[in-house]
Amino acid sequence: MPGLTSKMSPVPDHGEESYQGAGRLQGRKAVITGGDSGIGRAVALAYAREGADVLISYLDEEEDAKETQRLVVEAGRKAVLISGDIQHPAHCREIIDRAVSELGGVDILVNNAAHQASFKDIADISDEEWELTFKVNIHSMFYLIKAAVPHMKPGGAIINTASINSDSPNPILLAYALSFKAFSFLELLPTSRLSTVCRQPRYYGNSRSRGV
C-alpha cells in the first residue's frame, strides 16, 4: 500500500531545514530500503549531509523518490534510484549489485522498508496478505543482508528499523507485529555489524507504505 508524502497532513519533517552534517560518513556508500519518504528520506538526507553516497530503494513512488534524490544531490552526494518489490529475492540481490556497480561498494545497509495493514479480525487477514507481510518485513532483510555482507569491509554497518509493535503489539496489526517479533531473531545472524533501531508509536508520514 504505497503512500505519498504529498498526501500527508501535516507534511513530515525530514530534517530539510534542521539537519546539519559534520562529515562523519565521508566517502561511505549506503543502501536504504524505503528511502523515498518518511524515515527513509530522513536517513538518506542525513547520510548525504554527512558525506555518504546513497542508493535509494523504493516500491513505485517515483515522485517521492525523485525528491529524495534531489535532496541528496543538493547535499553534494550521488543518489542512485532503484524501484521494485523487495518481497522478491532477485530484486534484493539486484539492489546490492546496483550499489556495488554504481556506488563502488556497500558500507551501510539500512533495512527500513516495511509492509503494514490493519485488520479488526483475524478472519479478515487473507493468506496472501499474511505471506506478503512476512516476505517484505522479514524475508527481504535476510536476502539483503546475505547479499551485502560479502561486499562490506571492517567498519561497515547493518541497521534494521524495527517497530514498538514487536514488544507492545497493537491487536489490529497482528501480521505486522508478529513479523517484527520474528525480526528480532535476525540478530542471531553471524555478523557483528548488525544493530536495530526501533520505531516509536508516533506520526511518521506515510507509515502504511513500503517506505516507512
pLDDT tens digits, 1-54? 446 776 666 777 677 778 888 999 999 999 999 999 888 999 999 999 999 999
CB 182 within 8 A of CB 174: no
Tell me, what's the pLDDT at 183? 60
Kindly tell me the burial class for residue 59, based on how many C-beta atoms sit within 10 Å of its own C-beta (0-12, 13-18, 19 or more). Answer: buried
User: To 10 degrees, what angle do helices 38-49 and 62-74 make?
Assistant: 20
CA distance 83 to 52: 20
Looking at the domain that runs over 22-199, which CATH code has it been given?
Answer: 3.40.50.720
Q: What is the 3-state secondary structure (H, E, C) of 128-188?
A: HHHHHHHHHHHHHHHHHHHHHHHHCCCCCEEEEEEEHHHCCCCHHHHHHHHHHHHHHHHHH
The backbone region for 51, taken as left when phi is positive above 0, alpha when psi lies in -120 to 50, beta otherwise, is left
* Catalytic residue selected from 58, 176, 203, 204: 176
Q: Which three cell numbers stand for residue 120?
A: 479488526
Residue 176 falls in the annotated catalytic set: yes
Q: How far is CA 155 from CA 28, 58, 75, 191, 193, in A?
A: 10, 26, 24, 12, 8
Tell me, what's the pLDDT at 117? 78
Tell me, what's the pLDDT at 192? 46
Q: Quick one: average pLDDT of 140-144?
A: 93
Domain-wise residue ranges, the chain: 22-199
CA distance 100 to 102: 6
Tens digit of each residue's pLDDT (9 = 90 or more) over 80-126: 999 999 999 999 999 999 999 999 999 999 999 988 777 888 898 89
pTM above 0.75, yes or no: yes
Collect all residues with Cβ–Cβ distance below 8 Å to 185 and sequence separation of at least 6: none
> Picking from 66-70, 176-180, 201-205, which range would have the lowest pLDDT averaged per residue?
201-205
